[in-house]
């Protein structure tokens, strides 16, 4: 994987649902979406799950999906609708 084309988001707002989302281009014509369920209390602040120093016991699970371009666009649309609904309901 070309790391310069990989984006990672650390999600820690709800402690029992904390983890990471990683977006990359692994296979031609697809968008790779991977989520990592991580116990951030067991990891150093700002740690990256791809870092060799990331403690193995902090990773509880991960799921990796290969989305077609069409599926990725559908996901973006659904996320935009969810964001709009959250903003209407007082989200940040």
- Give the CA distances from residue 7 to residues 16, 29, 34, 50, 87, in Å, rounded to whole numbers and listed in that order: 23, 17, 10, 12, 24
Alpha helices in the chain (DSSP H): 69-88
Chain-centroid distance, C-alpha 78: 16
pTM of the model as a whole: 0.72
pLDDT digits (tens, 9 = 90+) for 27-86: 999 999 999 887 877 877 777 766 777 788 888 888 999 999 999 999 999 999 999 999
């Amino acid at each position: 994987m070309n790391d310069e084309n990989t984006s990672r988001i650390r999600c820690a707002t709800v402690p029992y649902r904390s983890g990471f989302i990683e977006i990359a281009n692994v296979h031609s014509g697809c968008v790779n979406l991977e989520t990592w369920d991580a116990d951030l209390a067991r990891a150093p602040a700002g740690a990256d799950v791809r870092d060799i120093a990331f403690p193995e016991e902090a990773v509880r699970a991960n799921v990796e999906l290969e989305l077609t371009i069409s599926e990725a666009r559908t996901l973006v649309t659904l996320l935009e609708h969810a964001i709009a609904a959250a903003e209407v309901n007082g989200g940040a």
